[in-house]
Amino acid sequence: MPSVTERWHSVFAEVAEECAKWGRDVSDITLVVVTKFHPVSVIEELLDAGARHFGESRHQDAAPKADALADRDLTWHFVGQIQSNKARAIARYTSVIHSLDRDSVVDALVTSEHRVDGFIELNLTDDPGRGGVTTADDMLRLAERILAAGTIDLRGVMAVAPQDADPNAAFAHVASMSEILTQAYPNATDISAGMSADWQQAIEHGATHLRIGTSITGNRPTPR
């Protein structure tokens, strides 16, 4: 079995290859290693291998890891659904929140002492419980609220492709939503899309932020 270090190097090389295939510059891609449920030692190994961007999905797991690694040179990305009452605590250690999915999370960040970069999460499923906005109008309304908050730099849109659908169609839709957003907010050009199973298609459709877990870390331990 390849080590985490080996998998990091091989995924990074594959990302570079895929970028070349689509005429994209690999330096435009931020490869976020999603380390949820993995121990600090895995993140330390990845830091030694050269990884700098790490994604977590649950505050109670992420906060102690951020504490343990407070003196290391790394950037935390939050990719999971956020309870509004945890939003400010998350912003204390997180630089980039990928999962701004509703008004209450944005409103909770108005009084944050730490600025964050933020992505609007799109819901590509029929299940409203998944979080995220569905229509372009709802996306633009949430964008307006994010701008008004004054503590969030809007970077773009984020999405998880539905498991039972063609990721190409899903990411083409994400790209069209991104175009609508950038017409109103010219700086919000980033697209956070692509996980272990579908990051190649995400690159093809313009993803700037890949959130890759298991392909690099191996299977996740069962969450406590």
Ligand X SMILES: *Cc1c(COP(=O)(O)O)cnc(C)c1O
Does residue 57 touch ligand X according to CB under 6 A? yes
CA–CA separation, 95 vs 105, rounded Å? 15
According to CB under 6 A, which one of 51, 80, 100, 174 is a site residue for ligand X? 80
Site size for ligand X (CB under 6 A): 14
Does residue 207 touch ligand X according to CB under 6 A? no
Q: Shortest CA distance to 194 belongs to which of 221, 223, 157, 139? A: 157
CA–CA separation, 8 vs 217, rounded Å? 8
Nearer to ligand X, 57 or 112 (CB): 57
Stretch that binds ligand X, among 100-108, 122-130, 164-172, 212-220 (CB under 6 A): 212-220
Q: Shortest CA distance to 213 belongs to which of 54, 67, 63, 92? A: 54
Nearer to ligand X, 80 or 118 (CB): 80
Does residue 213 touch ligand X according to CB under 6 A? yes
Does residue 102 touch ligand X according to CB under 6 A? no
Length of the chain: 224
User: Rounded to 5 degrees, what are φ and ψ at 159?
Assistant: -155, 155
CA–CA separation, 46 vs 169, rounded Å? 32
Sites of contact with ligand X (CB under 6 A): 34, 36, 57, 79-80, 160, 195-197, 211-215
